[in-house]
Amino acid sequence: MSDRGATRPARRGTIGAAMTSLPFAKAPVLDGAAVTVRGAVRNVTFRSDDLSFSVVRLVAVDGDEVTVVGPLGNLSPGECVRVTGTWEQHATHGPRVRAQAVTPELPRTPEGIERLLGSGFVADVGPTLASRIVQRFGSATLDVIADHPKRLSEVEGIGQKRAERIQAAFQARRAEVESKAFLQGLGLGPALARRVWERFGTDTATVIRENPYRLAEEVAGIGFLTADKVGRSVGIDDHDPRRIAGATLFLLLEAIDEGHVGVPPDELGVLADRFGIARSHVLEALDQMVARGTVVRDRGLVYPPPLYEAERRLAEALVARVRAGVGEVPAAVMTAPRVVEALAALHPTQREAVEATRRAAVVVLTGGPGTGKTTTVRAMVALHQAAGHKIVLGAPTGRAAKRLNEATRHPAATLHRMLEWMPRLGRFARNASSPLDADVVLVDEASMVDVQLAASLVGALRPGARLIWVGDADQLPPVGPGTVLADLLSFQGVVSVRLTEVFRQASASAIVRGAYAVLRGEPPQSSSPRPRPMPGQPPVGPTGELFFINVDDAEQGARTLVETVARRLPQSFGLDPVRDVQVLVPTHRGPLGAQSLNEALQQALNPSGPRNKRGFAAGDKVMQLKNDYDLDVWNGDVGTVASLDAEGLTVIVDGREVKYTATNLDALALAYAATVHKAQGSEYDAVVIGLHTSHFTLLNRALLYTAITRARRLAVIVGSERALRFAVSAMRVVARHGALRERLVALSSEAT
């Protein structure tokens, strides 16, 4: 292999004996034949953002060029590898190797060594100098660099310092190659092997031999199950304390992903049975983990340290704020014209909530649909504006912040933007040392706020500032850990007002009636059938309508749902199936899951036109999956693909163009269908809800109630009656473990 061989066209002869004796000319008959290729990466033609698929050109040991595809990790030009896989014949690109395993190697030939040295891994050694080094030392070059670097001075242009740099760079490369080969020998793929190397460097082999379960603790993308396979490979048995500690931490973090803040030790002991680990061994491991600071044990729960600190800080900050109190807004402010006007339309309970914000440091306002939360919030804003207070409004998602802004005509932002999240540092700029410049902070959709975000928010309030939480306590709890809104409502130290009066106009809505029926444990009642709208008629009645379509079979239910969105709703209600309708389901998977429904709805609503490698086409409805501060788009934002180009695509979000490239396309997903959790904080003209008994473990009143209340004007439930009845009979989601309320009560008692 040589640089000359890398630049000439690939020969059509045989590949060397190290690969296969079958010629390229017979590629069509090679499909599926096993092959091993040794060589150096010439260039990378394509690499996916998640490193799960790459296309590279490899210069083999005899100079032939080979295309290799598959999960190749983050290979770079000049790297030497051994690829094992199978031949395949591509209709457009010809013969290529489908990689099954890729192992890094050091080059063995002078040509390979020259290519390695000239690839740029040594900052000031280019192809010309690399050629002179290899011409002097030949196949012994790497031994000279490793063991006799002073001899490099025999090459013109290399002094002592450059020789030392070359040796140091080569030693680092050799350690990396050996570590990655070791890791891949243990079953880790190229992408994971690179992450492990980036975390542990030259200590990789030592760390894995001493405690492979550190992989799960410290390397993104590696969980306990993968670390356990590595552990078995290096001789760790079932009852090794390192394995028990790794399994215990894995079970704890798995529970956190389900919304718990901490977990009782006995529960972890029961869960560990799935790995064949005795409860007594788990309790022993916890004692050791507490001593090392890996976990915290307090108030009968085991916590990851960050969640323990968040729960503790939140409780302390809230109680301190309640104890300190705030200055009362003068009664004279209540006579200001705009305040009088805002209060005039309020029910006595709504007025009570507004009055509470005059005197209390922390106020919680809750209520279901039709109870006037938005009207009450407008009155609160009017009151504090008249008092000369600086008000900051926020919500957990971009869509919720936009609705809050529209309802109050006052600027509103996501909580992450309000607190000025700094992605590179992994923290907020706003905190106790640099608090928010606000006298009043009002948070809408507070049911979505988890314990860590709440702790950051309360910790960023300046002394004397008021905090107002607004949310629906009957909705689903947050995706993140904790139940902050519910805990505050059950804590007597915080002033809370629950709106229960459903106003006459709202009570005429079948959506509102259906939502409250669900909370009572009753199936929602369908509206009367509605004729096709006449020209100029509103697409859906202003009072809100709800329908149930009974389909028992999941696959038939999916077909019915797609037909409902694509044909029935446009014909019967004049709705645009992309702009006006949102499909909501409990889960991503299954025939009535978001993933398969998105594919079916895309085919029904936007079947034509070119698609990019991720399957997007112009006209597709897409959703942002995480906050992106550079693009100014937020988790849950929905837009429409305007155009595709070679670099990425352009999406229209809230009337503005957002340009996506390969680096951030992974944050987009089709949004014809979404999970109910993903839709929290959002409202849509029409919602179509898929329910089936295959969703059994996820069905409950809170989920169905949340889904129905996302609809402003029309809700349609498509699914089995059995699933509907089960959902309304399941009182709540599984209770979450945490001790926020207990801490609030205890701290308040200490204060008195």
Please report how the helices 373-386 and 337-344 are oriented relative to each other, as an axis angle in degrees rounded to 10: 170
Residue 628: DSSP 8-state: B
What are the DSSP calls for 648-663, one per residue?
EEEEEETTEEEEEETT
Given this model, what pLDDT does residue 575 score? 93
Choice between 33 and 713, residue whose per-residue pLDDT is larger = 713
> CA 117 to CA 113: how far, in whole Å?
6
Q: What is the mean pLDDT of residues 143-155?
A: 88
- The pLDDT tens digits of the residues spanning 453-465 come to 999 999 999 999 9
Given this model, what pLDDT does residue 156 score? 86
SS3 441: strand
Choice between 363 and 142, residue whose per-residue pLDDT is larger = 363
Strand-pairing partners, residue 367, are 499
Given this model, what pLDDT does residue 609 score? 77
List C-alpha distances in Å: 572 to 209, 513, 537, 546, 597: 66, 22, 11, 13, 22
Share of the chain above pLDDT 90, in %: 53
> CA 430 to CA 450: how far, in whole Å?
18
With a cut of 90, say whether residue 516 has pLDDT above it: yes
Given this model, what pLDDT does residue 529 score? 65
Q: What is the mean pLDDT of residues 733-749?
A: 90
> CA 710 to CA 697: how far, in whole Å?
22
Given this model, what pLDDT does residue 696 score? 85
With a cut of 60, say whether residue 487 has pLDDT above it: yes
Give, for 44, the enclosing helix (H) or strand (E).
strand 34-47
Residue 261: DSSP 8-state: S
Choice between 699 and 73, residue whose per-residue pLDDT is larger = 699
Report yes or no: 736 and 487 within 8 Å, Cβ to Cβ.
no
What are the DSSP calls for 162-190, one per residue?
HHHHHHHHHHHHHHHHHHHHHHHHTT--H
> CA 367 to CA 213: how far, in whole Å?
47
Strand-pairing partners, residue 391, are 440
Residue 633: DSSP 8-state: B
Q: With DSSP H G I counted as helix, E B as strand and the rest as coil, what are the percentages for the chain, rounded to 5?
A: 45, 20, 35
- The pLDDT tens digits of the residues spanning 1-14 come to 333 333 333 333 32
What are the DSSP calls for 308-360, one per residue?
HHHHHHHHHHHHHHHHH--PPPPGGGGGSHHHHHHHHT--HHHHHHHHHHHH-
Choice between 304 and 160, residue whose per-residue pLDDT is larger = 304
With a cut of 80, say whether residue 17 has pLDDT above it: no
- The pLDDT tens digits of the residues spanning 653-678 come to 888 899 998 778 888 999 999 999 98
Q: What is the mean pLDDT of residues 401-421?
A: 93
With a cut of 50, say whether residue 441 has pLDDT above it: yes
Under the banding of pLDDT at 50, 70 and 90, the label for residue 26 is: very low
Given this model, what pLDDT does residue 6 score? 36
Q: What is the mean pLDDT of residues 521-543?
A: 68
Lowest mean pLDDT among 154-158, 510-514, 639-643: 154-158
For residue 511, give the amino acid letter: I
SS3 387: coil
10 phi and psi angles, rounded to 5 deg: -60, 135
Given this model, what pLDDT does residue 720 score? 94
Q: Which is it for the CA torsion 646, 652, 656, 661, positive or negative? A: negative
- The pLDDT tens digits of the residues spanning 547-568 come to 999 999 999 999 999 999 999 9
User: In 225-276, where do the E strands start and end?
Assistant: none
Lowest mean pLDDT among 238-247, 312-321, 450-459, 503-512: 503-512
With a cut of 60, say whether residue 116 has pLDDT above it: yes
- The pLDDT tens digits of the residues spanning 203-260 come to 888 888 899 998 988 888 888 888 998 988 888 988 899 999 999 999 999 999 999 9
Give, for 247, the enclosing helix (H) or strand (E).
helix 241-257
User: In 54-167, where do the E strands start and end?
Assistant: 54-60, 65-70, 80-90, 94-105
The owner of tokens 């979000």 is: 653
- The pLDDT tens digits of the residues spanning 389-402 come to 999 999 998 889 98
Compute how many other C-beta atoms are within 10 angstroms of the C-beta atom of residue 588: 16
First and final C-alpha spacing in the chain: 81
Q: Round the average pLDDT of the chain to a whole number and report it.
A: 87
Lowest mean pLDDT among 338-342, 502-506, 688-692, 737-741: 502-506
Given this model, what pLDDT does residue 326 score? 94
Given this model, what pLDDT does residue 162 score? 87
CA angle 255/258/261 to nearest 5° reads: 60
Under the banding of pLDDT at 50, 70 and 90, the label for residue 681 is: confident
Given this model, what pLDDT does residue 733 score? 63
Q: What is the mean pLDDT of residues 531-535?
A: 55
With a cut of 70, say whether residue 288 has pLDDT above it: yes
Give, for 215, the enclosing helix (H) or strand (E).
helix 214-218
Given this model, what pLDDT does residue 732 score? 63
Given this model, what pLDDT does residue 354 score? 97
With a cut of 90, say whether residue 512 has pLDDT above it: yes
